[in-house]
Structure 1
Amino acid sequence: MLHQFFGGVHPAEHKDLTEHKATAPLAEAPAQVVIPMSMHVGAPCKPVVAVGDEVKVGQLIGETAGLGAPIHASVSGKVVAVEPRIHGGGGMMMSVVIENDFQDTPDPSIQRRANVEALTGAEIIEIVKNAGITGMGGAGFPTHVKLSGAVGKVDTLILNGAECEPYITSDHRLMLERGDAVIGGARLMAKAVGLKEATIGIELNKPDAIEHLKTLVGSAGDVHIEGLKTRYPQGAEKQLIQMCTGRQVPPGKLPADVKCCVCNVATAAAVYDAVMEGKPLTQRGVTLTGGALAEPMNVMAPVGTPVSHLIKLAGGFKTDPDRVLYGGPMMGNPIFNLDVPMMKSTNCILCMTTEEAADQDPAQTCIRCGKCVEACPMHLTPLFMRMNTNKRRWSEVEALRVMDCIECGSCNYICPARLPLVQSFRTAKFEIRELAAKEKAAREAKEAAKA
């Protein structure tokens, strides 16, 4: 039985630009890839290669230190730099730059695995860890950490195939073109966390994907395909859990607290490739789209491919873009330099025209209409949160649960005054974390002085 989640909006989908275009390999591989040592939640990786080293596809080039996921070469060739480079998240990040030899020589460690059925759940999780798999829906959380934390604590595994963000179709095409890997990955992940079943939630605007996956599952019945009423932000894990199970994740809690584990369908396919084929995560499907782009398409690209190269392969700009984003128009992050690389979590490069952006009017005064409250899927009060943020009343903003904001952009979308609500909440979160860090440091200094 399907349920409902609170709030949400219905933005124009704009998926028609690419939803019927098959994912294609790059017509021209990049001459260089720039692979950041941070493409995940957690500490950056430490480079384990040096300038002049020859590397192969799938070779380890960055190892973790604490929370994180290892990083592998996405092309074969020569390491020409190990240095800070501009990063998609802003600022500079230590990166490994590889000059492509265009041979795609695989690392000898990549071997098809025999007797997969005999693998234990712990062994599957270890394979996922060594393959460097992270959440591929955009969050970038290390998948092995999520799976290991779910063992013995969850009774439901949900895969997110909703792809509710406008414009993006990479997951849709994945489910159509590699449905066997999605289903296979779902089964492997279920085994890893000690379950015998999994659920895949897909919005009803993808009927072909729903029917295709149901056909692949057949009579096995161990993977349930649920069609979900189309509504944004359906793909947010707390909303997806509520939709599929009726359970609500309490404020400040995680999905595991309501016995659920949520992963993306692209993550499931990466798990399948790692376990079955021995392949680490070195490439992914990306939607190149938007009205400013000459030839919108879906491509399979090596991690570290410069955004400028992807745009070139999509025919370049047919008109000057108003903005270029990693991701969709609701939660995407702006790209200020097209030389930045695509990362493990990059599912879309969106090039929007001024007309598509449609938020050029200067922000007006809040009229207290309450539409942002009605739209917020987290039961928050955005108008009061922003009012206190503007007055720098951080304790009041924290009491209004700004840290529970998932930054989905529903309030921005629905606001008639075009107020930059989400942007102000990001500022508030940063300030609250900074204050907490300073208070912690002061306490520790005081305790050290007493000792």
Structure 2
Amino acid sequence: MIALIEEIKQGQIWDFHGGIHPPENKRQSSEFSILPAEIPNEIVLPLKQHIGTTGQLLVAVGEKVLKGQPLTKSDILQCCPVHAPTSGDVIAIEPRTIAHASGLSETCIVIRPDFDDKWCDKVSMSDFHTALPEILIDHIRMMGIAGMGGAGFPSARKLQTALARTKVLIINGAECEPYITADDRLMQEYAKEIIQGVEVLQRIVSPKLTVLALEDNKPEAITALKAAVAGKPDILVQVVPTKYPSGGEKQLIKLITGKEVPAKSIPAAIGVMMQNVGTVFAIKRAVIDGEPLIERVVTLTGNTLREQRNRWALLGTPVRFLLDKHGYEPEKKLERLIIGGPMMGYTVPHADVPVTKVTNCVLVPSRREIAPSQGEMACIRCSACAEVCPASLLPQQLQWYAKDQDFDKCQEYDLFDCIECGACAYVCPSEIPLVQYYRQAKAEIRTRDAEKVAAERARERFEAKKVRMEREKQQREARHKLAADNRRKAMEKSGDGDAIAAAIARVKAKSEQSSTETAVKPAVAAAIARAKAKQAEAASQGQSEPDNSEMKLLREERKRQARERKAQMESIGPEKGADDSSAGSEKKDAVAAAIARAKARKAAQQTDSETPAQNAAVESETAADVDPKKAAVAAAIARAKARKTAQHADVEAPAQDAAVESEAAADVDPKKTAVAAAIARAKARKAGQHADVEAPAQDAAVENETAADVDPKKAAVAAAIARAKARKAAQQTDSDARAQDTAVDNEIVAEADSKKAAVAAAIARAKARKAEQQTQSSTESHSQEKVDVDAEAPSPTPAADVDPKKAAVAAAIARAKARKAAQKKTNDEDK
């Protein structure tokens, strides 16, 4: 590197491949000084004016801002903040058309100037010689400095990558693009300020040599810079031949150092850093003067302007405002507005686009000045584009692949090494817009790469989430395990461990027992299995049916025993049968006891229909001497409670008796006993329902008769309520009886499991109903006769030597105790 530096100091100049010499057209604007900036009526500031990311908004609509106030912020080097060019009010934040080759819109801050041009507080670093490079870089970033040569790369980012790597610092003042003279006039008028900016850069990157490179077509600028660097041996002014595009970064590095920047690499990789002269001047104003980048020099040129000159323009100034200041007269047939030079510039749809940090020229040529294209024609493969390409590429192949959207091939042929200088399109005889194809292909590739990066980041986030969730799951399980261990240890210390272990053992035992019980097959399955075994045995012996002679004999014997038991039970009285049932515990005794209880209840129900009237008459006569009203009410309440308890017991008893009878009869014959048990249950339910229907009516009649002595009106109301309750109970009982009969029929059909059993069950039910109807009719007639006899018979009277009141009370108490004892005994037997 030392030898190279010596060669550079001696004036050694290298050359690069290709290049062209288009007409310069610089004298129209380079012979006059730069005009000062003027404040327009509206300023439109795009949030993004550089290569990189957009900053975060710091202002809102309606706020007042000062000149130099930051409007966006960011903490990364790849983002440059935007500052207010003048003081005024923020009137809108909305999308506007920007100066870009795509002609699309982006978010912009719209400011209405107040023309006071009042500055905010400036932050300068005039003692930059002692400041750390990192502090200077951060200050440059905060001032929004970006490359002003046309690319717009953030200067802070470039300086960061060049730290401790730069051997040669090159200041680009070549300005090779035709028509553009902004850098030329800046070097002529602000040469000393540019050198101060060079010193700031030297403080940051510490190069061994600094070279100010200019083309030989700028004699005034060369003279001014040489005068400014007098006495500074480490700063060299180097003049290079005029050749387009010598102002390109890689091409100028090749001219000054003779080295080529590797593909897909940066100049810092070979120890070189380059900055534009406009960028250097902006760095000087930011560091020494404390002014952010809010204005720049713009070349206004073209034959449609009355005055072609350079002018300071506030960032965000509409281009139309500048053109009006310079007497713009557009052509009627062909109006063209180009941002940049004729080689690398692009047309915009209208003149309301704003000036940005990279707007160095506004070109409005006439039709004769720059002839319009006649249209694209077929390529004749003349190879002129490859000969003039300064990057030594193959423009013809790149255009084919870009047109076919073969982006992999485009990258294989180093598409991104193209600097879009336009030399290939300039020499193409077929007038193929090669640069437009390259720009579109680059945009597509960048979009595709961005999607790949986003997908990769999403995959990484997903995998990280899975790892995190798995880690949290393991941690949670570990915590639960530790907590369980701690609880176990605490229980062992407190002595509760044995109790918990015993409880767990009991639960396990119950679970195993229940699973065993559910696994055991019922008796029906066992009987079917035995039948199948017999059939298989008979089939193996050659018989069509198995030998069931033994089963027939056993069945006949069980029938005979059942008949004997039935005759024996009929000979035993109800009370004795009940006493024997409480003493015995076998199935035979249970069957006998159940039948006896059923007969006793039926007789009691028939007797109850006669008893209430007699009891009411006795009680009413006896209580007349004590207190007619109180005695009648007390007696009625006692009788109602007794009957209600007896009815509740009568409803529950038949079902229990039927269950006992069905269990006892299971040993005789499964099918026939099932049918008989179902019939018995049906009879019991029906008898209980009949008693339930008659009882409420009888109670209501007794209560009405008794309450008649108390109060006629109240007695009438009570009687009506009692009758309504009796009707409601009867209706509910009838509906329940029908549902129960249906359930009984279903049970009978299911248990019979054959046509014969179903027919037998139906016949049995019919006979039972017929017998019941006959019995009921005979009972009703007998009851009617008894009622007539009782009506004719005289009422019982107490003995002459006995107190009538005490005798009546004693009789009522005795009857209540008898009923209570009978109910208790019945409940004990059922249990």
TM-score bucket (shorter structure): over 0.9
Q: Using the alignment, how far apart are the partners of 1:169 and 1:333 within structure 2?
A: 18
Q: Do 1:121 and 1:194's aligned partners in 2 also have CA atoms closer than 8 Å?
A: no
Mean alpha-carbon deviation: is it higher for 297-306 or for 46-55? Answer: 46-55
Q: Does 1:341 align with 2:354?
A: yes
Equivalent pairs counted in the alignment come to: 449
Give 3-state SS (helix, strand or coil) of 2:284's partner.
helix
Q: Do 2:90 and 2:111's aligned partners in 1 also have CA atoms closer than 8 Å?
A: yes
TM-score of the two chains, using structure 1 as the length reference: 0.95
Q: Using the alignment, how far apart are the partners of 1:131 and 1:377 within structure 2?
A: 34
Q: Report the aligned-residue RMSD.
A: 1.8
Structure 1 residue 446 displacement after superposition: 6.8
| Alignment-derived partner of residue 326 in structure 1 | 339
| Alignment-derived partner of residue 270 in structure 1 | 282
Q: Using the alignment, how far apart are the partners of 1:441 and 1:287 within structure 2?
A: 40
Give 3-state SS (helix, strand or coil) of 1:261's partner.
strand
Q: Do 2:58 and 2:70's aligned partners in 1 also have CA atoms closer than 8 Å?
A: yes
Mean alpha-carbon deviation: is it higher for 418-427 or for 77-86? Answer: 77-86
Q: Using the alignment, how far apart are the partners of 2:13 and 2:378 within structure 1?
A: 39
Write the letter of the residue equivalent to 2:368.
Answer: E
2:215 corresponds, among 203, 207, 221, to: 203
Q: Does 1:16 align with 2:27?
A: yes
Write the letter of the residue equivalent to 1:63.
Answer: K
Compared CA separation, residues 47 and 436, structure 1 to 2 (3 A): closer
Structure 1 residue 120 displacement after superposition: 2.6
Deviations 1:210-266 (A, max 9, x none): 111001111222221111100111111001111111110011111111111111000
Compared CA separation, residues 443 and 269, structure 1 to 2 (3 A): closer
Structure 1 residue 437 displacement after superposition: 4.0
Write the letter of the residue equivalent to 1:354.
Answer: R
Structure 1 residue 435 displacement after superposition: 3.6
Give the 5 Å matches for 1:303-382.
Answer: 303-317=315-329, 319-320=331-332, 322-382=335-395
Q: Do 1:182 and 1:268's aligned partners in 2 also have CA atoms closer than 8 Å?
A: yes
Q: Using the alignment, how far apart are the partners of 1:178 and 1:13 within structure 2?
A: 23
| Alignment-derived partner of residue 175 in structure 1 | 187
Compared CA separation, residues 444 and 57, structure 1 to 2 (3 A): closer
Give 3-state SS (helix, strand or coil) of 2:311's partner.
strand
Q: Do 2:124 and 2:286's aligned partners in 1 also have CA atoms closer than 8 Å?
A: no
Structure 1 residue 430 displacement after superposition: 2.4
Structure 1 residue 112 displacement after superposition: 5.2
Q: Using the alignment, how far apart are the partners of 1:116 and 1:254 within structure 2?
A: 27
Q: Using the alignment, how far apart are the partners of 2:174 and 2:185 within structure 1?
A: 12
Structure 1 residue 378 displacement after superposition: 0.7
Give the 5 Å matches for 1:56-205.
Answer: 56-64=66-74, 66=76, 67-89=78-100, 90-108=103-121, 110=122, 113-195=125-207, 197-205=209-217
Deviations 1:155-183 (A, max 9, x none): 11111100000000010000000011111
Q: Using the alignment, how far apart are the partners of 1:445 and 1:47 within structure 2?
A: 27
Structure 1 residue 440 displacement after superposition: 4.9
Deviations 1:131-190 (A, max 9, x none): 110001111111111111100112111111000000000100000000111111111112
Larger Rg: 2
Q: Using the alignment, how far apart are the partners of 1:96 and 1:441 within structure 2?
A: 29
Q: Do 1:187 and 1:197's aligned partners in 2 also have CA atoms closer than 8 Å?
A: no
Compared CA separation, residues 379 and 57, structure 1 to 2 (3 A): same
For structure 2, the 5+ residue unaligned runs are 1-11, 467-831
Q: Using the alignment, how far apart are the partners of 1:441 and 1:218 within structure 2?
A: 53
Mean alpha-carbon deviation: is it higher for 75-84 or for 282-291? Answer: 75-84
Mean alpha-carbon deviation: is it higher for 99-108 or for 265-274? Answer: 99-108
Q: Do 2:168 and 2:208's aligned partners in 1 also have CA atoms closer than 8 Å?
A: no
Give the 5 Å matches for 1:20-35.
Answer: 20-26=31-37, 28-35=38-45
Higher relative contact order (CA 8 A, sep 6+): 1
| Alignment-derived partner of residue 405 in structure 1 | 418
Structure 1 residue 361 displacement after superposition: 1.4
Write the letter of the residue equivalent to 1:86.
Answer: T
Mean alpha-carbon deviation: is it higher for 352-361 or for 289-298? Answer: 352-361
| Alignment-derived partner of residue 248 in structure 2 | 236
For structure 1, the 5+ residue unaligned runs are none
Q: Do 1:284 and 1:301's aligned partners in 2 also have CA atoms closer than 8 Å?
A: yes
| Percent of aligned pairs with the same amino acid | 39
Mean alpha-carbon deviation: is it higher for 351-360 or for 131-140? Answer: 351-360
Q: Do 1:164 and 1:234's aligned partners in 2 also have CA atoms closer than 8 Å?
A: yes
1:38 corresponds, among 19, 27, 48, to: 48
| Alignment-derived partner of residue 61 in structure 2 | 51
Deviations 1:332-375 (A, max 9, x none): 12211211100011111111222233242122221111110011
Greater fraction of residues in strand: 1
Q: Do 1:190 and 1:197's aligned partners in 2 also have CA atoms closer than 8 Å?
A: no
Q: Using the alignment, how far apart are the partners of 2:56 and 2:17 within structure 1?
A: 42
Compared CA separation, residues 52 and 381, structure 1 to 2 (3 A): same
| Alignment-derived partner of residue 16 in structure 2 | 5
Structure 1 residue 281 displacement after superposition: 0.6
1:258 corresponds, among 270, 274, 291, to: 270
Q: Using the alignment, how far apart are the partners of 2:226 and 2:433 within structure 1?
A: 41
Q: Using the alignment, how far apart are the partners of 1:438 and 1:318 within structure 2?
A: 43
Structure 1 residue 445 displacement after superposition: 6.5
Q: Using the alignment, how far apart are the partners of 1:441 and 1:189 within structure 2?
A: 36
Q: Using the alignment, how far apart are the partners of 2:130 and 2:456 within structure 1?
A: 51
Compared CA separation, residues 447 and 171, structure 1 to 2 (3 A): closer
Mean alpha-carbon deviation: is it higher for 425-434 or for 221-230? Answer: 425-434
Compared CA separation, residues 391 and 91, structure 1 to 2 (3 A): closer
Q: Using the alignment, how far apart are the partners of 2:96 and 2:72 within structure 1?
A: 15
Q: Using the alignment, how far apart are the partners of 2:265 and 2:433 within structure 1?
A: 27
Q: Do 1:125 and 1:147's aligned partners in 2 also have CA atoms closer than 8 Å?
A: yes
Give 3-state SS (helix, strand or coil) of 1:352's partner.
coil
Give 3-state SS (helix, strand or coil) of 1:79's partner.
strand
Structure 1 residue 406 displacement after superposition: 1.0
| Alignment-derived partner of residue 436 in structure 2 | 423
